[in-house]
A and B are shown apart, each in its own frame.
Chain A
Amino acid sequence: MRKLWSRLSRGIPPLVIVLSVLFFWEISVWIWAIPNWLLPSPSSIGYALYDKAELIAGHTIVTLEEVIIGFAIAVISGILLASCIVLSKTLERALYPFVIASQTVPIIVIAPMLLVWIGYGLTPKVIVVALISFFPIVVNTVDGMKSIDPDMERMMRTMGAGRWITFRKVQVPTSIPHMFSGFRVAVAMSVIGAVIGEWVGSSEGLGYLMIRSKPQFHTELVFAAIVILSIMGVALFVLVGVVERMVVPWWYNQRK
């Protein structure tokens, strides 16, 4: 009971901040009579979320699908790429520059091109999500795999372990907590990726809802979509943390 209370009480400070911001926002809109299309009040955003729940839910599922598929591709390709980079000096020299270069190309320029090349639909959005979120996964995984103790590596060699056995039995497990740091950054970025993908051309998803609602002066729907996107980002971030605790309990026990 006391434990539950201490957990709940930790939520109080952020709750106070959120509520007071919403309060002053509501009051300001009311006092200065700001028109709804310019800045909707929190209550009207809340009402839109309730009133248009079905519409918003439909678009949310589309965006969530893009995020999850794109993120999954980023995880798999990121870990494979990191393994290649760690296992072979030649591959490291060959691949790493391109990994970094891929991040300097503005996504906002690539996204419309993907549309031209691939067309509408799920695929170009998934590619944008994967492109934007694989980078932190690769970098963190590579750093994690390289972080093994040189003494550990020496001991493995005296046991007769080759490169591959050391990689499998020591380097991969060592890198898992680092991988998860990458996943957490990536999952938050992947939500942005999905919106960018939808922004440049789509017929569904929360990004589409936003660009459609703005010229129609349904600004409250734009904000409602932002609220849902934030909740999605936070929820996915927390979910990654929960999975991490299940996969690497030793990492947390060790630091207690």
Chain B
Amino acid sequence: MSESSMANHGDQKMVEAFGICYSVRIGKSTLPVLENVDFFAKQGEIVSIVGPSGCGKSTFLNILAGLIQPDTGTLLVRATQGDEVKGRTGYMQQKDLLLPWRNVLDNVILGLEVQGVSKSLARKRAISHLDEFGLAGFENEYPYALSGGMKQRAAFLRTILTDSNVLLLDEPFGALDALNRTQLHEWLLNLLEAYREKSVVIVTHDVEEALFLSDRLYVMSSRPGTIQMVEKMWLGRPRNRNIVNTPEFVDVKSRILSHLLGVGMI
């Protein structure tokens, strides 16, 4: 890949998957989990995968993260420059997974530490980000003292600091209350403006969340998971929370919901 194409945000496909199939063996029978999933996410794009619980969307994310191998299909993840096959992705889950014996600062540098960056250098890099993640002044606090939203922001900073260009978020707001979640949605969208070199893949079962956050949206059926529809959003960024009340938004949302409900999937 040439330098010029890298600079051209929006065209470069950072994640590509074709015909991904995956099944698990339970005793003697095999249970198909994913069937023929095609997927891509471009640079600077926020893509959501929405579907009912247990449809295999988290499994698909684990495949993108390189945690499990698909049975068949091709996968291309350009998480780091020049790494065409399998790079390190930034992976974040519903649980914050902060280490209780480390303060915020030492928690967010975990990924850098694993990569072999010295602690002092890693801390220096992390400190410059604390403000934009709303964690300034809390760097010496331990996780038990933080609110749910703060823990999730710390977990997100830890993910960003790994310097991967592909961020995989598995129900990142699932453990938060509705108010906190709405706040974090807006915060995340604003924040990602500064990280247009990254592709973000969000897995969720919340249709409104998926619509509000993403540029493109995949709707998945229940097991075996297949892609049912792909919705290209017209919303520009930055976007305002009030957009969820506009007729267009409500229209798309109800269309997706009735599709999911219609097939008896939620």
Contact = CB atoms under 8 A, between A and B. Distances in A.
B83 to A, nearest CB: 12
Counting contact residues on chain A (CB < 8 A from B), the size range is 20 to 34
Contact of A250 (B92, B95, B100, B110): B100
Q: Helix, strand, loop or mixed for chain A's interface?
A: helix
B144 A165 contact: no
Interface string A128-168: 00000000000000000000010110111111110001000
B142 A155 contact: no
A76 interface: no
Nearest to A255: B144
The contact size tier of chain B is 20 to 34
B97 A152 contact: yes
B234 interface: no
A130 to B, nearest CB: 29
A250 B103 CA distance: 10
B101 A151 contact: no
A215 B208 CA distance: 85
A169 interface: yes
Contacts of B65: 158
A159 B97 contact: no
Interface string B36-69: 0000000000000000000000000010011100
19 contacts: A149-B95, A154-B62, A154-B67, A156-B114, A158-B65, A158-B88, A158-B90, A158-B91, A158-B168, A159-B88, A159-B91, A169-B110, A169-B114, A173-B101, A250-B100, A250-B101, A250-B142, A253-B144, A254-B100
Given A159-B162, A250-B144, 15 more contacts: A151-B93, A154-B91, A155-B91, A155-B92, A155-B93, A158-B67, A158-B91, A158-B168, A159-B91, A159-B110, A160-B115, A250-B100, A253-B145, A254-B100, A254-B144
Nearest first, the 5 A-B pairs at minimum CB distance are A158-B91, A250-B101, A254-B144, A161-B114, A159-B114
